[in-house]
Structure formats: C-alpha cells, structure tokens
C-alpha cells in the first residue's frame, strides 16, 4: 500500500484536452486528500480538501456532460446517473474519512477512494472516449 496514491498516465486520456486536464486535477486533489489524511491533520483541513475535491468533481461532471450532450453521446443518461451516484458516494466516504482521521485513514477508505476515481471515473470514461474517436 503506497498511501493510496494515484497517478494519471497517458493511457487514461479520453482524447479531449480540457477533460484530460480535469482528470489530472482530480488525481492531484485526491492525492492531496491522502496526504492530508495520513498526516493526521485537523478536521477542518481534511474536510476542506475533501470539499474541494467534491466541488471540483461536480464542476468536472457538468463540463463532461455538456461536452457529451453536444456530441449526442447515446449513453449519456446512464453516464449522468453514474455521476450522481459517485457524488453521493464521495459525500458518504468523506464523512468516514473525517471520522477516522485521528488514527490515520484506514486502508478501506483509501482503497475506496482510489477505486472511486480510477475504476469508476477514469476507467468508465473510456467508453465515451471510444465513441468520440468514432465521430
Ligand atoms: Fe470524467
């Protein structure tokens, strides 16, 4: 376990420079959450970084949905529903991360957050990346 740290690698590219930039920023914010959680910072500090991640995630989803709507992505309704679910999951797990912060973030929570971003956001986006490439 490397503290949950996540890397953005070029194979995660969706072929849209501004959405790739968003994804890199999400990775950076999540890594800041891990650093803060493992450093055992004050509740407000960790809550602040998590709030920044949540706000940026929502902004990113809005931008991504607009981009896909303009290009008539057929699976947009499902992708949007997934976004809503991910926002709700982040709120829940953030609560746990804050509660656990004194003992340091549990492996459970950091693994959840890593999967939340890598498997559910970055990996799921490959489906629309394929669609955009085919246009
Ligand atoms: Fe995305």
And the tokens for 52?
A: 């920044």
Please choose, from the candidates 19, 29, 113, 118, the residue with its C-alpha nearest in 3D space to the C-alpha of residue 64.
Answer: 19
What is the distance in A from the centroid of ligand 1 to the CA of 116?
12
Q: Give me the half-sphere count of Cα atoms (radius 13 Å) on the Cβ side of residue 53.
A: 29
Complete DSSP assignment for 87-108: HHHHHHHHHHHHHHGGG---HH
CATH pick for 24-134 out of 3.30.565.10, 3.40.228.10, 1.10.3720.10, 1.20.120.50: 1.20.120.50
What is the distance in A from the centroid of ligand 1 to the CA of 79?
10
The domain spans of the chain are: 24-134
What is the distance in A from the centroid of ligand 1 to the CA of 103?
31
What is the distance in A from the centroid of ligand 1 to the CA of 123?
9
The owner of tokens 């981009």 is: 67
What is the distance in A from the centroid of ligand 1 to the CA of 102?
31
pLDDT greater than 70 at residue 57: yes
What are the tens digits of pLDDT across the range 4-35? 688 999 999 999 999 999 999 999 999 999 98
d(Cα 2, Cα 43) in Å, to the nearest integer? 23
What is the distance in A from the centroid of ligand 1 to the CA of 134?
18
C-alpha torsion angle, residues 47, 48, 51, 53 (rounded to 10): -110
What are the tens digits of pLDDT across the range 74-127? 999 999 999 999 999 999 999 998 988 777 788 888 899 999 999 889 989 999
Alpha-carbon Rg for the chain in angstroms: 15
């Amino acid at each position: 376990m490397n503290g949950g740290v996540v890397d953005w690698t070029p194979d995660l590219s969706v072929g849209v420079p501004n959405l790739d930039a968003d994804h890199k920023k999400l990775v950076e914010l999540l890594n800041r959450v891990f650093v803060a959680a493992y450093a055992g910072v004050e509740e407000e500090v960790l809550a602040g970084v998590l709030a920044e991640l949540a706000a940026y995630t929502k902004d990113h989803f809005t931008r991504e949905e607009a981009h896909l709507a303009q290009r008539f992505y057929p699976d947009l309704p499902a992708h949007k529903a997934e976004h809503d679910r991910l926002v709700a999951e982040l709120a829940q797990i953030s609560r746990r991360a804050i509660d656990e912060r004194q003992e340091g973030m549990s492996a459970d929570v950091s693994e959840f957050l890593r999967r939340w971003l890598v498997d559910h956001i970055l990996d799921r986006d490959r489906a629309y990346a394929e669609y955009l490439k085919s246009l």
